[in-house]
Amino acid sequence: MNRRVHFNVEKYEKLLNENLPATSSGLTLKRPDGIYLRTRNAYEQLCQTKGSQPIRREIISLQPYVVLFHGFVTQAEAKNIRKYAMPGLRRSVVASGMNQATAEYRISKSAWLKESAHEVVGKLDQRITLVTGLNVQPPYAEYLQVVNYGIGGHYEPHFDHATSDSSPLYRLKTGNRVATIMIYLSPVQAGGSTAFIYANFSVPVVQNAALFWWNLHKNGQGNVDTLHAGCPVIVGNKWGMFKNKNFHKVTCTAVTNIVHPKIIILSSSTHSPLVQILFKFFSYVQHNRTYTEEWWKPLLYILYFDLYNGCQWLLFFNILQKILFCLHPKKETHKSLELF
């Protein structure tokens, strides 16, 4: 050690000694008291508990809205899910008119995992709800689907939402797919990215992370910018897990549990008599009240309210009450419409 360095180290150590914390002079460190710290023990414990760490969300794109939640599953969870799905894996299918069929543009195997398959499935549903604010329990959403791509496996550009009324999604009365979350359950040595074609970006496989995006605009129309593909796997084996959140059910959840601003379109073609009555009601109001400019407009965006598909009367009246509140002459602002 040269002399100058030696001198500096001495000086540094002297400084450290001079600025030793109070503990070394016999005083113990004490937490400040204060009523505002009442929850401190619980808070600190939660912060230190493994599994209660904040989720790290990386915003990949705002239009379309695509985010990546890092460390969404643990290594062990990913391994277990692959194990439970393995026996059920079958060649993946795609919608083909009214049916489902295998297709050259989707080369992979997939299996559905119900909550009863293993407790981890329920846990993941809960976690998805926590980060997205969406109720993803069936029947509000589809079951978890595990997908496995071998070398060359891929899924050519497609939309996750239905783009035609003849889609099986409509026939099943599940509504369109409002959002997709895809969890990467394995690393891939080369290839396998998820590419958003019109939006012009791709997301490489990040093991244990979850990619989330909205398929539909807030008005319920499909977002064409979500056209995406699973790129071919070049080296390795890609495992993913999907969850699709369906559309009309959002109406029900949003009313009971106002978690996400989703606007649902009132459709005059819906056959439910109650929807028809509501529609007539809106048309009447629209023609007979003119006190604020287009005040009625947001009302038309309220409900695609398929009462035959699980919404309950109570929810229906809850909505109606809120609508009437919005119609109050003093309420000129659209802000009062914080239904969804």
Ligand X SMILES: O=C(O)CCC(=O)C(=O)O
- Residues in contact with ligand X by CB under 6 A are 147, 155, 160, 194, 228, 230, 240, 242
Are 212 and 178 in contact by the 8 Å Cβ rule? The answer is: no
Nearer to ligand X, 231 or 264 (CB): 231
Find the shortest distance in angstroms from Cβ 49 to ligand X.
32
Find the shortest distance in angstroms from Cβ 137 to ligand X.
21
Neighbouring C-alpha atoms within 13 Å toward the C-beta of 160: 25
Smallest CA-to-CA distance from 121 within 54, 73, 88 is with 73
Count of residues that interact with Fe ion, criterion CB under 5 A: 1
DSSP 222: B
Nearer to Fe ion, 64 or 306 (CB): 64
Nearer to ligand X, 194 or 270 (CB): 194
Find the shortest distance in angstroms from Cβ 233 to ligand X.
9
List, as one string, the DSSP characters of 95-163.
Answer: EETTEEE-BTTEE-EEEEE-GGG-HHHHHHHHHHHHHH----STTTBPPEEEEEE-TT-EEEEE-SS--
Nearer to Fe ion, 196 or 279 (CB): 196
Find the shortest distance in angstroms from Cβ 292 to ligand X.
43
Among ligand X, Fe ion, none, residue 194 binds (CB under 5-8 Å by kind): ligand X
Q: How far is CA 280 from CA 267, 276, 284, 288, 295, in A?
A: 11, 6, 6, 12, 17
Regarding 225 and contact with Fe ion (CB under 5 A), the answer is no
Residue with tokens 């989720």: 55
Regarding 142 and contact with Fe ion (CB under 5 A), the answer is no
Nearer to Fe ion, 106 or 262 (CB): 106
Find the shortest distance in angstroms from Cβ 56 to ligand X.
20
**160, 212, 249, 260: which one contacts Fe ion (CB under 5 A)?**
160
53: left (phi over 0), alpha (psi -120 to 50) or beta: beta
Query: β-strand 190-191 against 106-107: which pairing, if any?
Result: unpaired
Q: Which residues bind Fe ion (CB under 5 A)?
A: 160
